[in-house]
Structure 1
């Protein structure tokens, strides 16, 4: 198996490099978001110092930040989040920028709801899909809210692989029961 580690924006460059060497020594191949995500120079120091993939971008929602990150090769693998970034079109733009720079794209997918399903469709549509699908393995209770989200099971993991439906659209129907239980709020500009 490949072992991946997420730093959750937790370290200074020196500490991230120190920990990164430990990861290398223990066969880890992927170090996600080792430094505060907004500190591009810090993350680049880590990327330049380590022989493993340094990844990031899940928090970034501005295309200007992506231009900087990709143009300066801050990370080895870009990880846009389709929902944080504002949808499929903007995420495809980030994936295209990364492809033009020769960087793989492994989208961030934090839960078993629409973000993972959309990420699977994105990975099918881009030429620079990374090696992985981020698929949450958090405990069964933390993902229970998504159990009743879809009328059908849109995907399942089998032998470490996932197959996405070819049904129209996203290939799912959102459960009316789920929608009826949802809380809605409308904001207006005053």
Structure 2
């Protein structure tokens, strides 16, 4: 395989897979959608990436045609303000395929498997949520994340208490208030609400409280973290390494949670993870995608893998029919794929079956 190659074409593929039942999370969803970036080269090596919303493949191709995909930083710099995490991830996939190594080994490799936690989105009554938690425990999961979206904090706490009573000390419980962007309906947490929640959750031995305040509320997070013992997590919508640095310096987050696509790709996320390590903080990726799974094998200060799973309405992307070898959980752990690059291959028949209409070309 030659070490000098050129980017020839860049492709975006949108897929839309019907859900077994409608799912409500702020809005009603009946399909699961994913956008894929393919970066093709003159050497016959194609890189796969997770595309972000609004990605324009034709524009990216105009900017990067003829570039060497092995020079990731220089190639991404050539995109200027229209940088794409999907392209960056695809370039890493190419590098791994050329080196015949999975990406996590190229980044230093610290593990080959990691503990998964079931990340649920639906809001269930206390008895039903407890039943589901016990069912997941029996499947081998020993950690679960529950949402705090109810109009009354007391109702959220009743659910957490019911789950704790049902699973005892055999299962870790994480919580997510999802206050980082726009409140769900009329619900909005103040600093005082977040403090009350954190203290109550601590008594229930919850592992962390995620996104209790708006993501830009630096001072609020600092005051919250300073006033409670509960670890505060956040950062799933952060788009720059500089913002992670700012929040780590403020002391507002005990755990940073970059989303690989929102954060700009593999290298920016890896840089944020090492910033957190320098501050003796954890980095636990949000919405783990194909690229994120490789990063989990190279981030020593990461303890868990977010497994988005709330069937029949929500099925994690790793179990969709898009992959030839779907990534599964065994005994509560996920194996880091060991194949070259991302360690995955796409199911071409499924791509054809579920392909959605292409977006309008960029002019």
TM-score, normalising length: structure 2? 0.47
> CA separation of 1:63/1:18 partners in 2, compared to 1, >3 Å: closer, same or farther?
same
Structure 1 runs (4+) deviating above 4 angstroms are: none
Q: Look up the SS of the partner of 1:65 in the other structure.
A: helix
* 1:2 alignment partner, one of 161, 172, 190: 172
Aligned to 1:118: 291
Distance 1:3 1:23 in 2: 10
- Using a 3 Å threshold, how does the CA distance of structure 1 residues 144 and 108 change in structure 2: closer, same or farther? closer
User: In 2 relative to 1, CA 89–186 (structure 1 residues): closer, same or farther, beyond 3 Å?
Assistant: farther
Q: Which runs of 5+ in 2 are unaligned?
A: 1-170, 180-187
Q: TM-score, normalised by structure 1?
A: 0.87
CA contact (8 A) 1:33 1:43 kept: no
Compute the displacement of 1:188 (Å). Answer: 2.5
How far residue 158 of structure 1 moved from its aligned partner, in angstroms, is 1.4
Residue in structure 1 matched with residue 262 of structure 2 by the alignment: 84
Q: Secondary structure at the match of 2:310?
A: coil
Q: Relative contact order: is structure 1 or structure 2 higher (C-alpha 8 Å, sep ≥ 6)?
A: 2
> Is 1:22 matched up with 2:212?
no
String of CA shifts for 1:30-50, please: whole Å, max 9, x gaps. Answer: 100111111121122221122
- Structure 1 residue ranges without an equivalent (≥5): 110-114
Q: How far does the alpha carbon of each residue in 1:39-73 deviate from its partner, in whole angstroms, 9 at most, with x for none?
A: 12112222112212110000111222112111212
Number of aligned residue pairs:
182
Higher strand share: 2
* Residue 191 (structure 2) aligns with: 13
* Correspondent of 2:333 among 146, 161, 175: 161
Match of 2:348 among 151, 176, 181: 176
The alignment yields a C-alpha RMSD, in angstroms, of: 1.8
